[in-house]
Protein backbone atom coordinates (compact mmCIF):
# COMPACT_ATOMS: atom_id res chain seq x y z
CA UNK A 1 0.00 0.00 0.00
CA UNK A 2 1.34 3.39 -1.02
CA UNK A 3 4.84 4.80 -0.93
CA UNK A 4 6.86 5.42 2.22
CA UNK A 5 8.82 8.67 1.90
CA UNK A 6 12.09 8.69 3.86
CA UNK A 7 13.08 12.28 4.62
CA UNK A 8 16.61 12.64 6.00
CA UNK A 9 17.34 16.33 5.35
CA UNK A 10 15.70 19.60 6.31
CA UNK A 11 14.84 20.27 2.65
CA UNK A 12 13.38 16.82 2.09
CA UNK A 13 9.95 17.48 3.58
CA UNK A 14 9.36 20.39 1.21
CA UNK A 15 10.50 18.28 -1.71
CA UNK A 16 8.09 15.43 -1.07
CA UNK A 17 5.17 17.59 0.17
CA UNK A 18 3.35 18.02 -3.14
CA UNK A 19 4.36 14.62 -4.42
CA UNK A 20 2.43 12.49 -1.95
CA UNK A 21 -0.26 10.02 -2.87
CA UNK A 22 -3.32 9.35 -0.68
CA UNK A 23 -1.97 6.03 0.67
CA UNK A 24 1.56 7.32 1.26
CA UNK A 25 3.30 8.02 4.56
CA UNK A 26 6.29 10.12 5.56
CA UNK A 27 9.01 9.29 8.11
CA UNK A 28 11.51 11.92 9.23
CA UNK A 29 15.04 10.70 9.98
CA UNK A 30 18.40 12.24 10.77
CA UNK A 31 18.42 16.01 10.06
CA UNK A 32 14.90 15.61 8.69
CA UNK A 33 13.58 15.36 12.26
CA UNK A 34 14.07 19.11 12.69
CA UNK A 35 11.11 19.66 10.39
CA UNK A 36 8.85 17.90 12.91
CA UNK A 37 9.13 20.96 15.14
CA UNK A 38 7.20 24.12 14.32
CA UNK A 39 3.67 25.42 14.65
CA UNK A 40 0.99 23.04 15.76
CA UNK A 41 -1.30 21.29 13.38
CA UNK A 42 -0.65 19.32 10.27
CA UNK A 43 1.85 20.73 7.82
CA UNK A 44 -0.08 22.26 4.97
CA UNK A 45 -0.84 19.95 2.08
CA UNK A 46 0.29 16.80 3.89
CA UNK A 47 -2.84 14.77 4.41
CA UNK A 48 -0.98 11.50 5.00
CA UNK A 49 0.37 9.63 8.03
CA UNK A 50 3.44 11.37 9.41
CA UNK A 51 6.12 9.74 11.55
CA UNK A 52 9.35 10.81 13.15
CA UNK A 53 12.14 8.56 14.42
CA UNK A 54 12.33 8.87 18.21
CA UNK A 55 16.06 8.01 18.42
CA UNK A 56 17.03 10.83 16.10
CA UNK A 57 14.92 13.34 18.01
CA UNK A 58 16.58 12.27 21.27
CA UNK A 59 20.07 12.49 19.76
CA UNK A 60 19.35 16.11 18.97
CA UNK A 61 17.85 16.83 22.36
CA UNK A 62 14.45 17.62 20.89
CA UNK A 63 11.74 17.00 23.49
CA UNK A 64 8.59 15.29 22.29
CA UNK A 65 6.58 18.30 23.46
CA UNK A 66 8.23 20.33 20.71
CA UNK A 67 7.10 17.92 18.00
CA UNK A 68 3.94 18.84 16.11
CA UNK A 69 1.02 16.67 17.21
CA UNK A 70 0.55 15.60 13.60
CA UNK A 71 3.68 13.45 13.88
CA UNK A 72 3.72 10.04 15.53
CA UNK A 73 6.95 9.08 17.27
CA UNK A 74 8.25 5.63 16.37
CA UNK A 75 11.34 3.51 17.04
CA UNK A 76 13.36 1.43 14.58
CA UNK A 77 11.01 -1.52 14.98
CA UNK A 78 8.14 0.78 14.00
CA UNK A 79 10.20 2.07 11.08
CA UNK A 80 10.66 -1.51 9.85
CA UNK A 81 6.91 -2.03 10.25
CA UNK A 82 6.23 0.98 8.03
CA UNK A 83 8.43 -0.44 5.28
CA UNK A 84 6.45 -3.68 5.48
CA UNK A 85 3.12 -1.87 5.24
CA UNK A 86 4.21 0.21 2.27
CA UNK A 87 5.25 -1.69 -0.82
CA UNK A 88 7.64 1.00 -2.04
CA UNK A 89 9.91 3.61 -0.57
CA UNK A 90 11.67 6.71 -1.80
CA UNK A 91 14.48 8.60 -0.05
CA UNK A 92 14.49 12.41 -0.20
CA UNK A 93 18.00 13.42 0.78
CA UNK B 1 30.42 11.66 -9.66
CA UNK B 2 27.16 11.00 -7.84
CA UNK B 3 25.19 11.84 -10.98
CA UNK B 4 27.10 9.47 -13.17
CA UNK B 5 26.68 6.75 -10.54
CA UNK B 6 22.92 7.30 -10.56
CA UNK B 7 22.96 6.90 -14.32
CA UNK B 8 25.11 3.78 -14.01
CA UNK B 9 22.35 2.27 -11.89
CA UNK B 10 19.73 3.11 -14.50
CA UNK B 11 21.79 1.57 -17.26
CA UNK B 12 22.43 -1.58 -15.21
CA UNK B 13 18.71 -1.91 -14.47
CA UNK B 14 18.05 -1.47 -18.19
CA UNK B 15 20.59 -4.17 -18.96
CA UNK B 16 18.51 -6.49 -16.76
CA UNK B 17 15.45 -5.71 -18.91
CA UNK B 18 13.72 -3.68 -16.23
CA UNK B 19 11.22 -1.05 -17.37
CA UNK B 20 12.66 2.32 -16.37
CA UNK B 21 11.19 5.78 -16.08
CA UNK B 22 13.42 8.82 -15.56
CA UNK B 23 11.88 11.91 -13.97
CA UNK B 24 13.70 15.25 -13.58
CA UNK B 25 12.44 17.36 -10.66
CA UNK B 26 13.62 20.39 -8.65
CA UNK B 27 17.21 21.40 -9.49
CA UNK B 28 17.54 18.19 -11.48
CA UNK B 29 15.87 19.98 -14.38
CA UNK B 30 18.99 22.11 -14.87
CA UNK B 31 20.58 19.02 -16.33
CA UNK B 32 18.23 19.36 -19.28
CA UNK B 33 19.49 22.82 -20.13
CA UNK B 34 22.40 23.15 -22.46
CA UNK B 35 23.32 26.62 -21.20
CA UNK B 36 23.23 26.09 -17.45
CA UNK B 37 23.29 22.33 -17.25
CA UNK B 38 26.25 21.16 -15.26
CA UNK B 39 28.32 18.50 -16.91
CA UNK B 40 27.52 15.10 -15.55
CA UNK B 41 30.87 13.63 -14.69
CA UNK B 42 32.89 13.70 -17.87
CA UNK B 43 29.84 13.26 -20.05
CA UNK B 44 27.55 16.06 -21.20
CA UNK B 45 23.91 15.67 -20.25
CA UNK B 46 23.00 15.48 -23.89
CA UNK B 47 25.26 12.50 -24.15
CA UNK B 48 23.53 10.92 -21.18
CA UNK B 49 20.08 11.45 -22.64
CA UNK B 50 21.26 9.88 -25.87
CA UNK B 51 22.69 7.05 -23.82
CA UNK B 52 19.29 6.51 -22.20
CA UNK B 53 17.74 6.33 -25.64
CA UNK B 54 20.43 3.88 -26.70
CA UNK B 55 19.43 1.63 -23.81
CA UNK B 56 15.78 1.93 -24.86
CA UNK B 57 14.90 4.06 -21.84
CA UNK B 58 12.21 6.05 -23.61
CA UNK B 59 10.08 7.09 -20.66
CA UNK B 60 11.84 10.35 -19.77
CA UNK B 61 9.82 13.04 -18.01
CA UNK B 62 10.32 16.44 -16.47
CA UNK B 63 8.04 18.01 -13.91
CA UNK B 64 6.31 21.11 -15.33
CA UNK B 65 6.38 23.11 -12.06
CA UNK B 66 10.11 22.54 -11.60
CA UNK B 67 10.71 24.02 -15.06
CA UNK B 68 8.40 27.00 -14.47
CA UNK B 69 9.96 27.81 -11.10
CA UNK B 70 13.33 28.07 -12.83
CA UNK B 71 12.13 30.09 -15.83
CA UNK B 72 12.80 27.19 -18.11
CA UNK B 73 10.63 25.63 -20.75
CA UNK B 74 10.86 22.53 -22.83
CA UNK B 75 12.47 24.49 -25.66
CA UNK B 76 15.50 24.56 -23.42
CA UNK B 77 15.35 20.86 -23.00
CA UNK B 78 16.25 18.34 -25.58
CA UNK B 79 15.26 15.09 -27.15
CA UNK B 80 11.96 13.47 -26.40
CA UNK B 81 11.53 14.58 -22.82
CA UNK B 82 7.86 14.90 -21.89
CA UNK B 83 6.30 17.04 -19.17
CA UNK B 84 4.20 15.91 -16.24
CA UNK B 85 2.37 17.89 -13.55
CA UNK B 86 3.55 17.69 -9.95
CA UNK B 87 0.18 16.30 -8.89
CA UNK B 88 0.83 13.30 -11.12
CA UNK B 89 4.25 12.48 -9.63
CA UNK B 90 2.77 10.52 -6.71
CA UNK B 91 0.94 8.27 -9.16
CA UNK B 92 4.13 7.73 -11.13
CA UNK B 93 6.09 6.77 -8.00
CA UNK B 94 3.34 4.33 -6.97
CA UNK B 95 3.62 2.50 -10.28
CA UNK B 96 7.29 1.58 -9.79
CA UNK B 97 8.75 -1.11 -7.55
CA UNK B 98 12.06 0.59 -6.94
CA UNK B 99 12.55 4.36 -6.71
CA UNK B 100 16.08 5.77 -6.81
CA UNK B 101 17.01 9.41 -6.39
CA UNK B 102 20.22 11.37 -6.12
CA UNK C 1 -16.09 -22.77 0.85
CA UNK C 2 -12.72 -22.25 2.39
CA UNK C 3 -12.38 -19.80 5.21
CA UNK C 4 -10.51 -16.59 4.81
CA UNK C 5 -6.83 -16.69 5.36
CA UNK C 6 -6.07 -15.63 8.89
CA UNK C 7 -4.50 -12.23 9.30
CA UNK C 8 -0.79 -12.73 9.80
CA UNK C 9 0.44 -10.39 12.47
CA UNK C 10 3.95 -10.09 11.09
CA UNK C 11 4.53 -10.43 7.36
CA UNK C 12 8.08 -11.58 6.91
CA UNK C 13 9.84 -9.79 4.10
CA UNK C 14 13.05 -9.96 2.13
CA UNK C 15 14.89 -6.65 2.10
CA UNK C 16 17.55 -5.28 -0.24
CA UNK C 17 19.45 -2.40 1.38
CA UNK C 18 21.58 0.24 -0.30
CA UNK C 19 23.93 2.44 1.76
CA UNK C 20 25.12 5.59 -0.02
CA UNK C 21 26.96 7.62 2.62
CA UNK C 22 30.30 7.40 4.38
CA UNK C 23 30.08 6.29 8.04
CA UNK C 24 32.19 9.24 9.18
CA UNK C 25 30.52 12.01 7.19
CA UNK C 26 26.84 11.20 7.63
CA UNK C 27 24.56 9.25 9.96
CA UNK C 28 22.82 7.46 7.12
CA UNK C 29 25.06 4.41 7.32
CA UNK C 30 24.30 4.03 11.01
CA UNK C 31 20.59 4.53 10.35
CA UNK C 32 20.75 1.75 7.79
CA UNK C 33 22.71 -0.46 10.18
CA UNK C 34 20.17 0.02 12.97
CA UNK C 35 17.31 -0.55 10.54
CA UNK C 36 18.83 -3.86 9.47
CA UNK C 37 19.30 -4.99 13.08
CA UNK C 38 15.67 -4.12 13.84
CA UNK C 39 14.48 -5.90 10.69
CA UNK C 40 16.43 -9.05 11.62
CA UNK C 41 15.10 -8.87 15.19
CA UNK C 42 11.57 -8.84 13.75
CA UNK C 43 12.34 -12.00 11.75
CA UNK C 44 12.81 -10.40 8.33
CA UNK C 45 15.53 -11.41 5.90
CA UNK C 46 18.15 -9.11 4.41
CA UNK C 47 19.08 -10.44 0.99
CA UNK C 48 22.12 -8.22 0.58
CA UNK C 49 23.54 -4.88 1.69
CA UNK C 50 25.01 -2.97 -1.25
CA UNK C 51 27.41 -0.11 -0.56
CA UNK C 52 27.41 2.45 -3.35
CA UNK C 53 28.57 6.00 -3.99
CA UNK C 54 30.12 7.44 -0.79
CA UNK C 55 28.76 4.38 0.99
CA UNK C 56 31.73 2.34 -0.20
CA UNK C 57 33.79 3.95 2.59
CA UNK C 58 31.94 1.65 5.00
CA UNK C 59 34.02 -1.17 3.53
CA UNK C 60 37.29 0.64 4.24
CA UNK C 61 36.74 2.20 7.68
CA UNK C 62 36.78 -0.40 10.46
CA UNK C 63 33.67 -0.59 12.60
CA UNK C 64 33.79 0.43 16.21
CA UNK C 65 31.64 -1.86 18.31
CA UNK C 66 32.57 -0.11 21.53
CA UNK C 67 31.60 3.39 20.48
CA UNK C 68 28.89 2.24 18.08
CA UNK C 69 29.47 5.50 16.25
CA UNK C 70 30.76 3.63 13.23
CA UNK C 71 28.67 0.57 12.38
CA UNK C 72 30.33 -2.78 13.00
CA UNK C 73 29.33 -4.26 9.64
CA UNK C 74 31.75 -7.15 10.01
CA UNK C 75 29.92 -8.27 13.17
CA UNK C 76 26.66 -8.21 11.22
CA UNK C 77 28.23 -10.40 8.56
CA UNK C 78 29.87 -12.73 11.07
CA UNK C 79 26.93 -13.10 13.46
CA UNK C 80 23.99 -12.92 11.08
CA UNK C 81 25.55 -14.04 7.80
CA UNK C 82 24.49 -10.87 6.02
CA UNK C 83 26.12 -10.44 2.62
CA UNK C 84 27.99 -7.13 2.38
CA UNK C 85 28.90 -6.04 -1.15
CA UNK C 86 30.62 -2.80 -2.04
CA UNK C 87 30.62 -1.49 -5.59
CA UNK C 88 34.07 -2.16 -7.01
CA UNK C 89 34.00 0.63 -9.59
CA UNK C 90 32.72 3.17 -7.04
CA UNK C 91 35.61 2.17 -4.74
CA UNK C 92 38.19 2.35 -7.53
CA UNK C 93 36.88 5.78 -8.51
CA UNK C 94 37.64 6.87 -4.94
CA UNK C 95 41.03 5.22 -4.85
CA UNK C 96 40.06 2.63 -2.25
CA UNK C 97 41.56 -0.86 -2.09
CA UNK C 98 41.95 -3.57 0.57
CA UNK C 99 38.54 -3.67 2.19
CA UNK C 100 37.75 -4.61 5.78
CA UNK C 101 36.84 -8.21 6.69
CA UNK C 102 33.31 -9.26 5.90
CA UNK C 103 32.99 -7.25 2.70
CA UNK C 104 33.21 -8.46 -0.88
CA UNK C 105 33.58 -6.38 -4.03
CA UNK C 106 30.99 -6.61 -6.77
CA UNK C 107 29.30 -4.84 -9.61
CA UNK C 108 25.96 -3.09 -9.89
CA UNK C 109 24.53 -6.32 -11.25
CA UNK C 110 24.60 -7.67 -7.71
CA UNK C 111 22.50 -4.70 -6.59
CA UNK C 112 19.94 -5.26 -9.34
CA UNK C 113 19.92 -8.97 -8.48
CA UNK C 114 19.20 -8.10 -4.83
CA UNK C 115 16.35 -5.77 -5.88
CA UNK C 116 14.82 -8.51 -8.02
CA UNK C 117 15.00 -11.05 -5.19
CA UNK C 118 13.77 -8.70 -2.47
CA UNK C 119 10.22 -7.62 -1.70
CA UNK C 120 11.34 -4.33 -0.22
CA UNK C 121 14.15 -2.04 -1.39
CA UNK C 122 15.34 0.63 1.04
CA UNK C 123 17.98 3.26 0.26
CA UNK C 124 19.86 5.04 3.05
CA UNK C 125 21.60 8.33 2.36
CA UNK C 126 22.79 9.74 -0.93
What is the Cα–Cα distance from B66 to B86, expressed in whole angstroms? 8
Task: Say whether A90 and B91 touch across the interface (CB within 8 A).
Answer: no
What pLDDT was estimated at residue B40?
44
On chain B, the residues whose CB falls within 8 A of the CB of A92 are 101
What pLDDT was estimated at residue B17?
92
What pLDDT was estimated at residue B39?
45
pTM, to two decimals: 0.91
Task: Say whether C112 and B1 touch across the interface (CB within 8 A).
Answer: no
- The Cβ of residue C37 has, within 10 Å, a number of other Cβ atoms equal to 17
Chain B: residues touching A (Cβ < 8 Å): 25-26, 65, 86-87, 89-91, 93-94, 96-99, 101-102
State the ipTM, two decimals: 0.94
pLDDT digits (tens, 9 = 90+) for A1-59: 899 999 999 999 989 988 999 999 999 999 999 999 876 555 666 889 999 999 999 99
Q: How far is B25 from chain A (nearest CA, A)?
A: 9
pLDDT digits (tens, 9 = 90+) for B35-68: 544 544 434 555 667 778 888 888 999 999 999 9
What average pLDDT does the segment B81-92 reach? 94
Query: Which residues of C are catalytic, by number?
Result: 87
Beta-carbon pairs below 8 A across chains A and B: 39
Task: Say whether B26 and A15 touch across the interface (CB within 8 A).
Answer: yes
On chain C, the residues whose CB falls within 8 A of the CB of A6 are 122-124
Q: What are phi and psi of C85, to 5 degrees?
A: -120, 125
The H-or-E segment that residue C49 falls in is strand C45-51
Query: Cβ of A17 under 8 Å from any chain C Cβ?
Result: no
Query: How would DSSP label each residue in C6-39?
Result: PPPSS---EEEEEE-S-TTT-SHHHHHHHHHHHH
Task: Say whether B12 and C111 touch across the interface (CB within 8 A).
Answer: yes
Amino acid sequence: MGVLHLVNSTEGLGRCRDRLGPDDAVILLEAGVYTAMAPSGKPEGMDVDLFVLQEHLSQRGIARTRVRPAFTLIDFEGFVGLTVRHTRSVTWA
Amino acid sequence: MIDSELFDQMLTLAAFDQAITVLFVDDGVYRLNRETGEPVSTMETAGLLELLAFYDIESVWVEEESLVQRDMNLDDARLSVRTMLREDVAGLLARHDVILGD
Amino acid sequence: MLGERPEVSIRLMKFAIQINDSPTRSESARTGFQFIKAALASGHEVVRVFFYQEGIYNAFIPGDSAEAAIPDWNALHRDEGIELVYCLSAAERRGQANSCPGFVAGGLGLWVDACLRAERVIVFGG
